[in-house]
């Protein structure tokens, strides 16, 4: 104990010396090279008569296990006995990683009303920043930097107070701002709602935070005193956080102020293309006629290449400044540029107004796009971007005849207009691409090109469109239709369009076609026939019929090859595109059949007609149409047979090819069957402990959500949560009530299900669960006269008792000896000692009885204790 006393004596002066001076600050850092960084701690402190501490150096924890001290290199006096202090040091990290840098110093100055109810001088003062070192960041990261230090920050009763940290990121990273609790011991945040409250919660009024610009406004401070405001400023690069800085400030709210803040007027936002000039004026006025200083901060003013300009200007009552920026390719970056304008008066106290202007710098649009068909592909070319920092180009394709990209400043995406990305090339000077990804003859393909920058984080607006179709130098498949459905004698019919753009001088006749069949789109190599030879291409046959195939159970795929005569030998000109017949599959359900079909065809199908008959051989009638590859036929009769086929209607965008293109599927038959359970009933319960019964009632689903309920099943469990078991089946849909108990107990839970027709027996989901609990009754009398007169000769509970499974009863004499015990709820003690068999003497006996009651949760023990008075002769004491 003495040792502890000595330690406390030694610590106490130390705490006193270090107390009551820190008002705010932050830790920032700059990259010097490799893994070496320069760290700066900036603090605002009290230096007047009440300040009891000053620091020539501060401890810093670099987050890698290293703790060092940073020397103070500068002391800058501030108004009202305040001082700005700057500490610097250099540290090299051993490896990549995420490091949390922390500084602690006891203590804060006292009287901060929203920290520990004003006992802030007992709270440790901490600052923190985070540094991410990663090879995936590209350039090494620098923290945000600050040009101003709020030391002091002054607000007034009833006057709106706004503050902006005016943070600038040297790397051009995007910033977000968050109002947070300040840090205390171990660099941990103070508890919001506990040791910390946001200023309006203590000082009145309300506050708002702009998380994009960093401006915090307190609309109407209502309490004189000191208040803390802490910002967390996070940097974002390529969509990921790469570091943050906590900025801690202290605001002094004064009373009887005679000043109003200036008012800024800014234009914007602005959206320009690289190379455009941005020039606009910013003005401010002061209602008190004070001198206004107009300044600006933000990345456009600090970029290394062609920075913007905004000279600081000052004037009484009103002031105007000019912003000017000649944008270049180096200014292309993800997101927007933010320029923060600040107008500060020279009143007492000084007040500021802030306004933000957003600037978007767009990459140049790719120009000169052309699309030229070549063989089975299309060559796309374009003018190289005027910005040599373009990392490459994306090429998009569509077959849609209509699309609109809208304004470039709305960031239109080709993907949103139905285009697909078909390829990318890397390098600003690579300006061509060949698209040969499953192109089809007869289809018109349109292309746009975009340039991308900054690790694919920025993409230019889409270029103008260039369109092309493959040349008709080979046959084009137009029809694959099922003429007859059969397992052995099925028939398919194939048709194609002649290659009308073929150079017949280069490929002279005679000509003929080979027809190939396959079981999949990628394996069509079985030669099944050849057309007659013709000396002239226009005279060649373009149809072929395949017989003796199983069109009932599978679909077939086809292609056609054109041959010509080359020096007396049959030589291949080329192959057509590939396609197959439509194949339907059916899924029966209650009074309906769902038809779904797959297709793999080179043309574009837009519509489908569905035909039905009650017989396989017809006649068939049109029952509906759809634009999707499915159709649900409803209102059918379960058990009857229905047969279907589908006609597809499509086209090629080439006007020289037949239009419309119509093909038939195979015929398929099926019968609807009820596989759908009815909807569940809604169950209610009325329990009665006195009568010992539960009355269950439910609705008939046929009255609202079903039409085929025939019967019900009722399920039960005596213990809530246990598996239910069937207790009753009711074979009429109008039988919707039962009365039930379980071995005399009404404790239990129930559900009911509905069942449809006997033929299908689909059972619904369970209804809602309803439960009821027992009301146990078990009471023991306190007088007992076992004198053989036929009245009250046996000790038993007061009848009737209810909902008791068993008991554990022990009766004791005055010396604590057990004279009787039983597990029988009826007890029936005759007043004799259980061991000697002799009547016990008159007197008072104590009992301990555990009653095992039957409850919804299971068997629940209830303990009863009391006394029994034993008398003879019906209440008269005997000898």
pLDDT of residue 52: 60
Q: What is the DSSP string of 64-114?
A: SS-EEEEEEEEEEEETTTEEEEEEEEEEE-SSSEEEEEEEEES-BPS-BTT
Of 3-12, 65-74, 347-356, 446-455, minimum mean pLDDT range: 3-12
> What does the pLDDT read at residue 49?
66
Residue 17 has pLDDT above 60, yes or no: no
Task: Determine the pLDDT at residue 1.
Answer: 31
Any idea which architecture 18-254 has in CATH? Sandwich (2.60)
To which CATH superfamily is domain 476-670 assigned? Immunoglobulins (2.60.40.10)
Q: Tell me, rounded to whole angstroms, the distance of Cα 150 from its chain centroid.
A: 39
**What pLDDT score does 232 carry?**
97
> Is residue 5 predicted with pLDDT exceeding 80?
no
| Average of per-residue pLDDT across 834-845 | 92
Q: What is the structure's pLDDT at 362?
A: 95
Yes or no: domain 263-362 corresponds to CATH 2.60.40.10 = yes
The CA–CA distances, whole Å, from 344 to 145, 224, 294, 696, 798 equal 20, 22, 7, 77, 90
Which whole number is the average pLDDT over 649-678?
A: 90
- Tell me: the pLDDT tens digits for 414-434? 999 889 999 999 999 999 999
Least confident of 11-25, 90-104, 214-228, 396-410: 11-25
User: Looking at domain 683-772, does it have CATH number 3.90.320.10?
Assistant: no
pLDDT (0 to 100) of residue 546: 95
Q: Would you list the domain boundaries of the chain? A: 18-254, 263-362, 370-469, 476-670, 683-772, 783-870
Using the predicted structure, report yes or no on whether residue 89 has a pLDDT greater than 80: yes
pLDDT of residue 675: 82
The reply to whether domains 18-254 and 683-772 share a CATH topology is yes
Distance between CA atoms of residues 720 and 698, nearest Å = 20
φ and ψ of 15, to 5 deg: -65, -40
pTM: 0.56
* Average pLDDT value for the chain: 90
Tokens (6 digits) for 17: 């010396």
Question: pLDDT class for 19, splitting at 50, 70, 90?
Answer: very low
Lowest mean pLDDT among 44-53, 125-134, 177-186, 842-851: 44-53
What CATH architecture is 370-469? Sandwich (2.60)
Give backbone dihedrals phi and psi of 699, rounded to 5 degrees, phi first.
Answer: -85, 160
In the prediction, which pLDDT does 584 show?
A: 96
Residue 3 has pLDDT above 80, yes or no: no
Task: Tell me the torsion sign for CA atoms 671, 673, 676, 682.
Answer: positive
Examine the pLDDT at 14 and tell me if it is beyond 60: no
Average pLDDT over residues 738-761: 90
Q: Is residue 251 over pLDDT 80?
A: yes
Yes or no: say if 686 and 680 are a contact pair by the CB < 8 Å rule. Answer: no
Domain 783-870 has CATH 2.60.40: yes
């Amino acid at each position: 104990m003495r040792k502890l006393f000595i330690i406390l004596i030694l610590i106490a002066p130390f705490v006193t010396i270090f107390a009551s001076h820190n008002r705010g600050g932050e830790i920032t850092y700059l990259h010097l090279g490799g893994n070496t960084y320069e760290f700066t701690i900036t603090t605002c402190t009290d230096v007047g008569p009440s300040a009891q501490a000053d620091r020539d150096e501060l401890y810093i924890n670099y987050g890698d296990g290293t703790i060092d001290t940073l020397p103070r290199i500068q002391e800058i006096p501030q108004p009202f006995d305040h001082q700005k202090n700057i500490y610097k040091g250099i540290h090299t990290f051993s490896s990549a990683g995420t490091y949390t840098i922390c500084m602690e110093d006891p203590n804060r100055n006292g009287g901060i009303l929203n920290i520990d109810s004003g006992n802030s001088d007992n709270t440790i003062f901490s600052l923190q920043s985070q540094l991410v070192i990663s090879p995936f960041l590209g350039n090494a990261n620098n923290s945000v930097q600050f040009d101003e230090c709020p030391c002091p920050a002054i607000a007034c009763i009833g006057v709106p107070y706004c503050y902006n940290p005016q943070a600038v990121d040297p790397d051009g990273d995007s910033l977000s701002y968050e109002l947070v609790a300040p840090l205390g011991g171990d660099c941990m945040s103070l508890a919001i709602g506990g040791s910390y409250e946001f200023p309006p919660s203590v000082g009145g009024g309300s506050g708002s935070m702009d998380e994009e610009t960093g401006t915090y406004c307190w609309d109407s401070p209502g309490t004189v005193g000191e208040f803390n405001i802490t910002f967390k400023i996070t940097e974002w690069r390529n969509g990921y956080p790469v570091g943050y800085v906590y900025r801690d400030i202290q605001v002094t709210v004064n009373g009887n102020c005679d000043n109003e803040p200036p008012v800024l007027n800014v234009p914007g936002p602005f959206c320009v293309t690289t190379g455009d000039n941005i020039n606009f004026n910013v003005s401010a006025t002061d209602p008190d006629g004070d001198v206004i200083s107009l300044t600006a901060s933000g990345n456009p003013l600090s970029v290394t290449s062609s920075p913007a300009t905004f000279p600081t200007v000052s004037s009484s009552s009103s002031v105007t400044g000019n912003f000017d920026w000649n944008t270049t390719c180096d200014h292309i970056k993800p997101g927007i540029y933010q320029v923060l304008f600040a107008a500060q008066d020279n009143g007492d106290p000084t007040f500021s107004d802030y306004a933000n202007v957003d600037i978007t710098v767009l990459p140049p649009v790719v120009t000169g796009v052309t699309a030229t068909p070549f063989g089975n592909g299309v060559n796309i070319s374009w003018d190289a971007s005027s910005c040599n920092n373009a990392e490459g180009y994306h090429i998009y394709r569509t077959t849609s005849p209509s699309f609109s990209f809208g304004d470039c400043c709305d960031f239109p995406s080709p993907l949103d207009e139905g285009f697909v990305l078909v390829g990318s090339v890397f390098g600003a000077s690579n300006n061509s691409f060949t698209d040969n990804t499953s192109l089809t003859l007869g289809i018109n393909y349109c292309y746009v090109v975009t340039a991308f920058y900054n690790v694919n984080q920025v993409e230019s607006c889409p270029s103008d469109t260039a369109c092309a179709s493959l040349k008709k130098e080979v046959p084009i498949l137009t029809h694959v239709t099922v003429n007859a459905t059969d397992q052995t004698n099925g028939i398919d019919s194939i048709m194609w369009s002649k290659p009308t753009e073929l150079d017949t001088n280069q490929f002279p006749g005679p000509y003929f076609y080979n027809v190939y069949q396959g079981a999949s789109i990628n394996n069509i190599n079985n030669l099944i026939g050849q057309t007659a030879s013709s000396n002239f291409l226009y005279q060649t046959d373009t149809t072929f019929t395949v017989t003796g195939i199983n069109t009932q159970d599978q679909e077939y795929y086809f292609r056609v090859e054109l041959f010509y005569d080359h020096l007396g030998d049959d030589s291949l000109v080329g192959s057509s595109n590939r396609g197959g017949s439509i194949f339907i599959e059916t899924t029966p359900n209650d009074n309906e059949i769902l038809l779904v079909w797959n297709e793999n065809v080179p043309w574009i199908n837009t519509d489908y007609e569905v035909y039905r008959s009650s017989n396989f051989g017809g006649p068939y009638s049109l029952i509906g149409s759809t634009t999707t590859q499915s159709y649900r036929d409803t209102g059918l009769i379960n058990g009857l047979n229905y047969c279907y086929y589908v006609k597809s209607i499509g086209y090629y965008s080439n006007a020289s090819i037949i239009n419309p293109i119509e093909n038939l599927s195979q015929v398929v038959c099926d019968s609807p069957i009820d596989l759908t359970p009815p909807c569940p009933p809604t169950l209610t319960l009325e329990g009665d402990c006195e009568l010992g019964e539960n009355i269950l009632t439910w609705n008939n689903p046929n009255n609202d959500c079903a039409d085929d309920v025939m019967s019900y099943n009722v399920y039960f469990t005596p213990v809530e949560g246990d598996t239910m078991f069937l207790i009753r089946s009711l074979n009429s849909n109008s039988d919707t009530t039962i009365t039930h108990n379980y071995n005399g107990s009404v404790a239990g839970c129930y559900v009911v299900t509905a069942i449809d027709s006997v033929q299908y027996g689909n059972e619904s989901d369970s209804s809602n669960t309803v439960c009821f609990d027992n009301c146990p009754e078990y009471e023991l009398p306190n007088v007992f006269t076992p004198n053989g007169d036929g009245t009250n000769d046996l000790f038993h509970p007061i009848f009737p008792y209810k909902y008791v499974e068993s008991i554990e009863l022990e009766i004791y004499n005055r010396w604590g000896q057990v004279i009787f015990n039983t597990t029988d709820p009826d007890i029936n003690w005759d007043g004799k000692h259980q061991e000697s068999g002799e009547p016990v003497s008159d007197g008072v006996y104590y009992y301990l009885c555990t009653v095992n009651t039957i409850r919804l949760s299971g068997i629940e023990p209830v303990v009863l204790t009391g006394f029994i008075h034993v008398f003879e002769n019906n209440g008269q004491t005997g000898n």
